[in-house]
Amino acid sequence: MRIVISSGHGLHVRGASGYIDEVDEARRVVDRVAEVLNGAGVTTIVFHDNTSTSQSENLDTIVNFHNRQTRDLDVSVHFNSNGSDAHGTEVLWTSDAGHTLAVDVSDVISIAGHFANRGAKERNDLAFLNNTEETAILIETCFVGNKGDVDNYKVHFNEICNAIAESISGETITGIPPTQPDWPDRPDRPSWRPPENIPVSERPELSEGDEGPHVVDLQTMLPGFGASNIDGDFGPYTDEEVRNYQQSRGLDVDGIVGQQTWTALYENKPPILPPPPPPHALSMRDQEAIIAIANASAISNYHWDDRGVAPTGYTQGMALAFAQTYKKWKAGHPAAIKMAKARKDSDKDALNIYRDEFNILGMENEEDGVDTLRHLYALMLGHGMRESSGRHCEGRDMSADNVQSDTAEAGLFQTSYNAHASSDPEFDDLMEEYADPRNEATCYYNAFAEDVECHDGEWDCYGSGAGYEFQKLCKDCPPIAVETAALTLRNLANHYGPIIRRETELKADADNLFLAVQKYIDEHEPEVA
């Protein structure tokens, strides 16, 4: 039997990163598995892509290498990533032979690595599985962003590699000694060891101006503190490095090394991962396709009670906003995850208030997931018509005296900023996200504005500070109005009169529109593995 095994992505086309780096670790696993198999007499050819500079070139290079070899089996090694909660091992397949093998490989990796077994998963959209000519599997060893997975991976590295080698070859592997430690020293800190002779409790509090052997130990333990800078003198450079360390580990940033900072150093506490970035804006191709779906939908011609047919901008804008939120949900974005939670037994959750209406249409919301998210958006389509007639520039209700920063309503859903506390911290995090000029392409302003007439006075915002900013952002960048309304409907639905009075219309055709958008996104996703 001959096997070709390659690492996912490439030297210049990086994969996921978290507590560990996908490309670096996939290479270590591949090398070790091949070492074990070749030692056991199973010819195993290794490939790492060191040349490609784009994803398509990378996929072609890997596939072409496999197809040029004489072999019985094609294996690709990856690591998974999806926020910090997702964990476990899974093995992807597309052919029946791949399926059988994937079940076995996932089983044994999960046992060897003490990982949750997510099992074999069919994927028909991956170049490696589709284009390699022999039986193929793609191993997602574990999740780089999950602390438990990474800890287990480090401790059980050699067992995991042995398990992969045995399961893909069908051979029993014995007597192949590990040639590398389960987990090597950190390259940036070769001399680091957890201190054995001095317990944390005996460490003094240190800050700028101190010197001596404890400062030497501190400098030795600080990640990234260059060995040549270790001098036992707590000067400005040490102060800066301590503050960087405290910041990156979520500690109080004061430059004072007390018990908290010593403990984190002793535990080799990993850095806090930044939240996943918002997904890139929809491509122009995707925007055009989704707009076409919206304008062809039955709901786009629907005559809403007391409001009439929605402006073109509203239906198409909502379709784009849903596509974006759905992509965020898939990427583990915290706000989207909250929106997609199962119905709560609460008079503040619109999915509970409208439970009967949903049930009549067969739209159940009893489970976390995209169905619940989509049903929420279906309700929102009617809700935005009720609140603003689908007009993104709608200002405050001029008949009411809500002119404070926090109570002045604005935008499609007439949300006011005082709703933010009910969705802490996601509401404010969304504001920060959409206020960031780098995310301007996620506003889809022109799409929302089509066929909507705005008047001068409507643009006025009231008060100052965050409440003022929120009103302005809702009108300038409508998806913030959509996503904050989605959160508010789940957490503070009584904020909205039309919900309490049951004036918001829930239509099956609204759900049909978003379902078509969902399918489009699923079918046109950029390749990720």
Q: Which parts of this chain interact with Zn ion (CB under 5 A)?
A: 8, 15, 78, 529
Residue number, 102 or 264, with CB nearest to Zn ion: 102
CA proximity to 408, closest of 460, 454, 349: 460
Cβ at position 81, least distance to Zn ion in Å: 8
Measured CA to CA, the distance from residue 377 to residue 374 in angstroms comes to 5
Cβ at position 423, least distance to Zn ion in Å: 33
Count how many residues are written for the chain: 529
Residue number, 9 or 420, with CB nearest to Zn ion: 9
Shortest Cβ contact with Zn ion: which residue?
A: 78
Q: Which two tokens stand for residue 112?
A: 């060897």
Residue number, 17 or 263, with CB nearest to Zn ion: 17
Cβ at position 112, least distance to Zn ion in Å: 20
Measured CA to CA, the distance from residue 140 to residue 90 in angstroms comes to 5
Cβ at position 529, least distance to Zn ion in Å: 5
Measured CA to CA, the distance from residue 434 to residue 270 in angstroms comes to 29
Cβ at position 9, least distance to Zn ion in Å: 6
Residue number, 78 or 118, with CB nearest to Zn ion: 78
Measured CA to CA, the distance from residue 451 to residue 420 in angstroms comes to 30
Q: Is 435 exposed, middle or buried (0-12, 13-18, 19+ CB in 10 A)?
A: middle
Residue number, 14 or 344, with CB nearest to Zn ion: 14
Beta-bridge partners for 47 = 6
Give me the DSSP letters along 380-430: HHHHHHHHHTT-TT----TTS---STTT--BTTTTB-GGGGGGGTTHHHHH
- Number of alpha carbons in the 13 Å side-chain half-sphere of residue 375: 27
Cβ at position 528, least distance to Zn ion in Å: 7
Measured CA to CA, the distance from residue 220 to residue 375 in angstroms comes to 55
The residues near 82 (Cβ < 8 Å, ≥ 6 apart) are 143, 145, 331, 332
Residue number, 81 or 246, with CB nearest to Zn ion: 81
Residue number, 82 or 325, with CB nearest to Zn ion: 82
Measured CA to CA, the distance from residue 405 to residue 418 in angstroms comes to 9
- Number of alpha carbons in the 13 Å side-chain half-sphere of residue 489: 34
CA proximity to 189, closest of 234, 153, 230, 140: 230
Cβ at position 78, least distance to Zn ion in Å: 3
Measured CA to CA, the distance from residue 474 to residue 105 in angstroms comes to 49
Distances (CA, A) of 498 to 386, 414, 505, 514: 7, 11, 9, 22
Cβ at position 62, least distance to Zn ion in Å: 11
- Number of alpha carbons in the 13 Å side-chain half-sphere of residue 137: 26
Give me the DSSP letters along 214-234: HHHHHHHHSTT--GGG--SB-
Beta-bridge partners for 78 = 140
Residue number, 26 or 161, with CB nearest to Zn ion: 26
Cβ at position 221, least distance to Zn ion in Å: 32
Cβ at position 215, least distance to Zn ion in Å: 42
Residue number, 140 or 394, with CB nearest to Zn ion: 140
Strand-strand pairing, 117-122 and 308-309:
unpaired
Residue number, 21 or 104, with CB nearest to Zn ion: 21
The 10 Å CB-count burial string (b at 16+, else e) for 396-415 is beeeeebeebbbbbbbbbbb
Cβ at position 276, least distance to Zn ion in Å: 15
Residue number, 27 or 490, with CB nearest to Zn ion: 27
Residue number, 52 or 484, with CB nearest to Zn ion: 52
Cβ at position 22, least distance to Zn ion in Å: 5
Measured CA to CA, the distance from residue 136 to residue 74 in angstroms comes to 5
